[in-house]
Amino acid sequence: MVITHSKTSLPHQLGYFLTYNHNVPHGFANTVLITEYLRFHRDRKKVNTILQLMRMKDLDELHSVLNNLITFKFDITKEEIADYSRQAFENKARLTIHPYAVELQDIVTIFERSLLK
């Protein structure tokens, strides 16, 4: 009920596409996307605070730690990423809680860098 009214953050929203279409547990889906989302996030002070609280020196270390914990292999195409990105971008109500404008290419980049290895 709370999420319905307050909406969700961008990586959480993007994680639903992996959960619903690729049967990835939602927490794992968010974990896979979070590092690239943090690279995209403009507020470096907030990102650095998160890293300090996690006792990580940088996003590369966070990525390495999370990559060792999450062993999902994604069978996803660029076409699927383009489709999920378009759907997420067109859902303007979900994007309104983000602190600054999000472009379609931002979403594509987060997905591609997170999933295409």
Domain boundaries, the chain: 2-115
Average pLDDT over residues 77-106: 93
Q: What is the pLDDT of residue 5?
A: 38
pLDDT band at 79 (very low <50, low <70, confident <90, very high): very high
What is the pTM for the complete model shown?
0.88
SS3 117: coil
Q: Please check whether the domain covering 2-115 is classified as CATH 1.20.1090.10.
A: yes
Share of the chain above pLDDT 70, in %: 93
Distance CA 107, CA 113 (A): 10
Average pLDDT over residues 93-100: 85
Q: What one-character DSSP code corresponds to residue 55?
A: T
pLDDT band at 33 (very low <50, low <70, confident <90, very high): very high
C-alpha angle 3/8/47, rounded to 5°? 135
Q: What is the pLDDT of residue 74?
A: 80
pLDDT band at 8 (very low <50, low <70, confident <90, very high): low
